[in-house]
Structure 1
Amino acid sequence: MDSPPLQHEHEHEPQRLSALYQYHNAPEVAPAHGLEYDDTVYPSSDKYPVIREAPSYDPSNYKGKHAFINDNRPPRIIFGMKVRTFLVVALVMALIIVGAAVGGAVGGKSMRENETQDGTQVSNLSNENSTAASSTSSATSTTSTFAAATPTYTPLSDCPASNDTGYTSSYAQLSSTTSTSTSTTAGLTFTKYCAFAGPLSQSGAARITEAYVYSFSDCIEVCAGYNYYNAGSNCTVAVYEPAGDRPANCWVGQLDGVLVSALKAENGTDVALLTQ
């Protein structure tokens, strides 16, 4: 019996495949990313893929760099920018915001200081104008921050030349021109006495008010004005001390039945009594 014809030896040899697939009967396909063809025969591990590169991001190297230089994977993108570009832009924006905040705070403080200085200058100018106006007018309005200049006049007295002489208040001229009958009955006529102690310290005396004046007649006018506006003769005594200090050198009040002979002599004090 004839033997079957021999076939060519190459027909019995399997088609040569890569080392990865030469012992598999599956059709050969393109390798996945990270795998390479290797015709070397590995006797113990030739049935498993050979990984020729490390993972794209090595867990032991947390710097975000690829394990191999020739890794062509795209870099990480944040808001359309690379990580380094994004960090630079974020730093610049933070510096701009901080600079704007600091500049605004400094500018606001400077504006407040300027407004305060302007207000102080306006206040000082107003005070200067008020002082100039007060020098040309006898009547001035005062405020809590304005100190009126103290007159330097020396209070005078017409004693002893006016001792035991009569004095009629200037309010008498107003009484003659007014239709108020009570004004004409007010006590406006006094008698001056020089160098006598004031009787308002005696028992039964009532002090009405006090003032700082520059003459004996002005002190009497304080008492007469009280009588004029109160329609009566309630103020009967005026005591004047020219050398007295502020706030008062004139005291007026009421004490009926005062006798000049009963008063004690006292230099520097003048007394006016209402004429009955």
Structure 2
Amino acid sequence: MDHTEPQHHPQQQMPQRLSALYQFHNAPEVAPAHGLEYDDTPYPSSDKYPVIHTAASSSYDTKYTGKHAYNDNRPPRIIFGMKIKTFLVVAFVVMLIVVGAAVGGAVGGRALRQNNGGDGMWPEGTISNATSTTASSPTSATPTFTAATPTYTPLSDCPDSNNTTYTSAHSSTLSSTPNSTPPLYLTFTKHCALASPLSASGSTTLSDAFVYSFSDCVELCASFNVVSQKAECSVAVYRPGGSRPGNCWVGKANFDIGSSAVDEGTDVAVVMGGSKS
């Protein structure tokens, strides 16, 4: 049996290639650390060192730029779910809004105090004065409102009331003594079917209205006499068949029943305190 001596081939020794970390130094030669023998990159890339990128970091190490720039790949800083730049912009806008609101409130409060007497409270009587001013002299347009028109038929107590005396209801409020004689300017005589004295020359019509009875028309005339305390209104003319806006006219006129013409549908009341214009 032939024993062939095993041939011993010398182990091929691969050249060691040191990483950039070990290529440039003047220290004694030291065996490279494990994992760095065949590092083809010009900088360490093992798990013992951080990863190196050729691009410079724009957020953290901007002063180290160039081929061997350093970036540790840390995530961007987040504040309230926003990046730093976004957070600063939002904070600046919110600050502007808060400052503007504060300045506006201060200016408005100062103007309000100046308009209200300087004490910040409504001056005495301001509300009531404003209400009365608005009611007496409206300055703004308001929606129009049309009330329902009553469908009652105006009535006349003629001919039953012809040549009878009527005393105004105002006499009870003016008299200080019960059952006292009412003033003559509140006492009238009713006449039926006579022509209106207010249509004659020299007469004066004081007012007109739409009423529902002969007595209501007389009361309109009596109201003028209550204010003047004399026979300011001497004649009340009522036409129950008239239409709106008026079927009652009151005023001052000369009245002579003997010379008055007949006019069916027209009733006339004359004050007893005087009938001259």
TM bucket, shorter chain: 0.3 to 0.5
Q: TM-score, with normalisation over the residues of structure 2? A: 0.47
